[in-house]
């Protein structure tokens, strides 16, 4: 994809819960083909921001532009998903009693029924896409394994694969390496960097070793607002960032 062009633009977004300002005049620009890491202490507004982008939460004011002129705040969750925004929550939700391959097939057809999904089994195009996703998510050797038999890290990868099956232009990924081994964490950084060669990715993450391994621009949120933005070394050395992480 052409880099530099804006894909996602949050413009002065606000959200108050019971008088508490969770998102406070938040503006953020993510370019097409960019991967961005979002950091910030607990309660900074990271989850609420993701909820607003995906239409789960409607902001009180402000706009969220996707692909130029589409204002996401005027659309519901299902619409936004169909526009090409996929989200992975922290806890994996895979179909435990189905194989990896069938999980991907279910995700690809957008179907909750294995019967519908199996109708698509014969398509050569679908097969090629599944092979590609299996390679990206390091699950090729596990293709006929039941999801229940995967490690926690592999389940996270499968869920990323299930997102890819829907071919999103923008992936929103919430704390992908929570609970992973060091080796899985390292592999996840590589895997996401590969995905970001063809798609935009926004990753919310606490694990600074992982954020370092991603090697991308970082946005630090605090009290629902952008506190600092730039390369990790610059952001983590910012006295205001040090203050909110240590001064509490």
Chain positions contacting ligand ADP, by CB under 6 A: 17-18, 20, 22, 40, 42-48
**CB of residue 223 vs ligand ADP: minimum separation in angstroms?**
9
Q: Which is nearer to ligand ADP, 44 or 214 (CB)?
A: 44
Of all residues in the chain, what percent are helix, strand and coil, respectively (each to 5)? 40, 25, 30
**CB of residue 240 vs ligand ADP: minimum separation in angstroms?**
16
Of 92, 132, 98, 139, whose CA–CA distance to 118 is shortest? 98
Q: Which is nearer to ligand ADP, 42 or 125 (CB)?
A: 42
Token pair 């923008």 in the structure block, residue: 170
Query: What phi-psi label fits residue 168: left (phi over 0), alpha (psi between -120 and 50 degrees) or beta?
Result: beta
**CB of residue 41 vs ligand ADP: minimum separation in angstroms?**
7
CA 248 from centroid of its chain's CA atoms: 28
**CB of residue 224 vs ligand ADP: minimum separation in angstroms?**
7
**CB of residue 42 vs ligand ADP: minimum separation in angstroms?**
4
Partners of residue 64 on adjacent β-strands: 10
**CB of residue 16 vs ligand ADP: minimum separation in angstroms?**
9
Q: How far apart are CA 133 and CA 87, in angstroms?
A: 16
Of 240, 224, 245, whose CA–CA distance to 47 is shortest? 224
Q: At what angle do helices 152-164 and 100-109 cross, to 10 degrees?
A: 30
CB 208 within 8 A of CB 175: no
Query: What phi-psi label fits residue 31: left (phi over 0), alpha (psi between -120 and 50 degrees) or beta?
Result: beta
């Amino acid at each position: 994809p052409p880099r530099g062009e804006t894909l996602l633009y949050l413009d002065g977004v606000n959200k108050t819960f019971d008088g508490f300002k969770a998102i406070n005049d938040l503006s953020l620009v993510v370019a097409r083909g960019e991967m961005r890491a979002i950091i910030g202490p607990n309660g900074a507004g990271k989850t609420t921001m993701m909820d607003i982008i995906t239409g789960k939460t409607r902001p009180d004011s402000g706009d969220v532009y996707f692909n130029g002129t589409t204002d996401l705040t005027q659309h519901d969750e299902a619409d936004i998903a169909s526009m090409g925004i996929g989200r992975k929550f922290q806890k994996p939700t895979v179909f435990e009693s189905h194989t990896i391959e069938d999980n991907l097939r279910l995700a690809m057809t957008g179907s909750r029924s294995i019967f519908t999904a199996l109708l698509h089994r014969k398509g050569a195009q679908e097969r090629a896409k599944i092979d590609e996703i299996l390679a990206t998510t390091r699950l090729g050797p596990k293709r006929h394994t039941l999801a229940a038999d995967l490690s926690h890290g592999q389940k996270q990868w499968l869920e990323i694969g299930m997102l890819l099956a829907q071919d999103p232009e923008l992936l929103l990924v919430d704390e992908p390496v929570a609970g992973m081994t060091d080796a899985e964490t390292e592999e996840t950084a590589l895997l996401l960097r590969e995905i970001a060669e063809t798609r935009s990715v926004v990753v919310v993450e606490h694990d600074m070793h992982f954020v370092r391994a991603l090697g991308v621009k970082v946005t630090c949120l605090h009290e629902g607002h952008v506190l600092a933005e730039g390369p990790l070394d610059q952001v983590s050395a910012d006295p205001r960032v040090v203050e909110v992480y240590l001064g509490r």
